[in-house]
């Protein structure tokens, strides 16, 4: 498998909670909000009960504050936790009912404004920032009017009015800030979800690419080794069969070559199964392996086959040696199958920073423009490209063929 194709790991979440045991932050926040609202409701209930006059007004005020608890539990809390958003009709109904209960309590008992500590923040939890200003302003005006009415002094009216303006201004500014934070958080949550989905898709694409690359590698290896080996064995057996009655010694030699090729094919098959490097390169150098397959090709075809080295032979990275060996095997296989050549020459040239391989024959040749490439040529090009090298094929009808490969080393 190419090194630049990563294995597909199971994608993890883009964001991981710092304390998974504590649950989602939203759930924790809701529990804290429930506690806060409960405390404010209990304190507010006591304040209203003590401040209201001991008559029907006290009963009405206490009933209004008491009704806020079930109204919150039945309507408000589910709305805050729901995914309907802040524009649903239920949110408007909830805040309308809450404002009406607050108005009844505050007009009967001025100190009921204390309930605004829990009510005002809810406006921004169930309504958009601009719509939340409506219940905020309404409750503030009600509270200021109630204070001014019960105080009945110019100073009290001015104080109540100034306090109302300050509360509205602060709430509007703070609410807008909180609204933008909530909006950005929602956008980021959507972005994280999209990123996690994309990561899962990329992992699947990576896995498929890795599998495809592995299948292609196996296809090339099987074509360059086992398939060509079997072709050689079949050709040698057919030649031996033809010579068996006429020249037993020649037939015996061809059968020995077939047996040797079969043994090499068996070693290649074991190598493919085990995912190892070529057994030929494990037992000998690249030059020795190329010399041996060149001589074997000459013996199989009964033609003049020569091998030469330019420069100083040296060990190369295993992947580079495999590319050069498989390319040489494929080029010689094409000579055996298509060229009908009288001679073939293989030259391995070592230079500083690169190694070149050239396979030349004087066979029939072909018109490159009319050849689609086939699996052999395309396999050679794929191997050489993967190694970062170049390959050139020169041929013409009746003028032979030359395959030139150069890879960095």
Q: What pLDDT is recorded for position 194?
A: 87
Q: What pLDDT is recorded for position 278?
A: 61
Q: What pLDDT is recorded for position 303?
A: 92
Percent of the chain with pLDDT over 90: 16
Find where tokens 């919150």 sit.
72
pLDDT over threshold 50, residue 360: yes
For the chain, the average pLDDT equals: 79
Confidence of residue 211 (pLDDT cuts 50, 70, 90): low
Average pLDDT over residues 17-39: 64
SS3 9: coil
| CATH (one of 3.30.565.10, 3.90.1200.10, 1.10.287.990, 1.10.1490.10) for 292-409 | 3.30.565.10
Q: What pLDDT is recorded for position 7?
A: 40
Q: What pLDDT is recorded for position 89?
A: 84
pLDDT over threshold 80, residue 185: no
Using CA atoms, how far apart are residues 350 and 357, in angstroms rounded to an integer? Answer: 9
Using CA atoms, how far apart are residues 136 and 133, in angstroms rounded to an integer? Answer: 5
Q: What pLDDT is recorded for position 272?
A: 63
A 10 A CB-CB count for 394 gives: 13
Q: How far apart are the first and last CA of the chain?
A: 20
Can you point out the beta strands (E) in 47-185? none
Q: What pLDDT is recorded for position 206?
A: 73
Among 152-161, 218-227, 256-265, name the most confident range: 256-265
Q: What pLDDT is recorded for position 370?
A: 78
Average pLDDT over residues 387-396: 91
Structure pTM?
0.43
**344 vs 104: which has the higher pLDDT:** 344
Confidence of residue 263 (pLDDT cuts 50, 70, 90): confident
pLDDT in tens, 297-309: 898 888 999 999 9
Average pLDDT over residues 289-294: 90
pLDDT in tens, 144-170: 777 777 666 777 667 767 777 877 777
Interstrand relation of 343-351 and 304-310 (parallel, antiparallel or unpaired):
parallel
Percent of the chain with pLDDT over 70: 79
Interstrand relation of 354-361 and 401-408 (parallel, antiparallel or unpaired):
antiparallel
Confidence of residue 4 (pLDDT cuts 50, 70, 90): very low
Instruction: For the chain, give every residue range classified as CATH 3.30.565.10.
Output: 292-409
Q: What pLDDT is recorded for position 67?
A: 92
Cα–Cα distances (Å) from 169 to 96, 174, 207, 391, in that order, read: 21, 9, 57, 76
Confidence of residue 2 (pLDDT cuts 50, 70, 90): very low
pLDDT in tens, 98-151: 989 988 888 877 777 788 877 887 887 788 877 888 888 888 888 777 777 766
CA dihedral 289→295→297→299, nearest 10 degrees, is: -150
pLDDT over threshold 80, residue 221: no
**Which uninterrupted H or E stretch holds 11?**
none
Using CA atoms, how far apart are residues 357 and 349, in angstroms rounded to an integer? Answer: 6
């Amino acid at each position: 498998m190419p090194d630049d194709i990563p294995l597909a790991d199971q994608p993890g979440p883009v964001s991981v909670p710092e304390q998974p045991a504590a649950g989602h932050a939203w759930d924790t926040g809701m529990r804290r909000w429930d506690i806060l609202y409960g405390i404010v409701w209990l304190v507010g209930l006591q304040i209203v009960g003590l401040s209201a006059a001991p008559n029907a007004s006290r009963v009405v005020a206490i009933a209004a504050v008491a009704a806020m608890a079930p109204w919150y539990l039945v309507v408000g809390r589910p709305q805050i936790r729901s995914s309907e958003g802040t524009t649903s009709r239920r949110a408007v109904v909830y805040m309308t009912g809450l404002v009406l209960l607050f108005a009844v309590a505050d007009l009967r008992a001025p100190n009921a404004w204390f309930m605004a500590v829990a009510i005002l923040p809810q406006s921004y939890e169930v309504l958009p920032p601009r719509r939340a200003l409506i219940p905020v302003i309404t409750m503030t005006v009600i509270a200021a009017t109630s204070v001014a009415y019960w105080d009945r002094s110019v100073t009290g009216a001015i104080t109540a009015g100034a306090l109302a303006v300050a509360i509205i201004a602060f709430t509007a500014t703070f609410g807008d800030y909180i609204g933008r934070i909530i909006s950005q958080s929602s956008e980021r949550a959507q972005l994280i979800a999209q990123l996690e989905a994309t990561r899962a898709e990329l992992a699947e694409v990576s896995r498929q690419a890795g599998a495809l690359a592995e299948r292609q590698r196996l296809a090339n290896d099987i074509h360059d080794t086992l398939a060509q080996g079997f072709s050689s064995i079949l050709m040698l057996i057919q030649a031996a069969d033809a010579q068996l009655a006429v020249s037993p010694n020649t037939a015996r030699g061809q059968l020995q070559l077939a047996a040797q090729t079969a043994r090499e094919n068996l070693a290649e098959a074991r190598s493919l199964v085990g995912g190892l490097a070529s057994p030929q390169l494990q037992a000998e150098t690249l030059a020795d392996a190329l010399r041996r397959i060149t001589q074997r090709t000459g013996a199989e075809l009964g033609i003049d086959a020569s091998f030469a080295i330019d420069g100083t032979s040296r060990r190369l990275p295993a992947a580079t040696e495999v590319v050069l060996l498989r390319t040489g095997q494929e080029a010689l296989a094409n000579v055996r199958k298509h060229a009908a050549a009288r001679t073939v020459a293989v030259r391995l040239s070592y230079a500083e920073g690169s190694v070149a391989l050239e396979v030349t024959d004087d066979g029939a040749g072909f018109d490159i423009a009319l050849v689609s490439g086939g699996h052999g040529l395309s396999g050679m090009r794929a191997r050489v490209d993967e190694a970062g090298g170049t390959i050139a094929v020169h041929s013409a009808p009746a003028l032979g063929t030359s395959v030139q490969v150069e890879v960095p080393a």
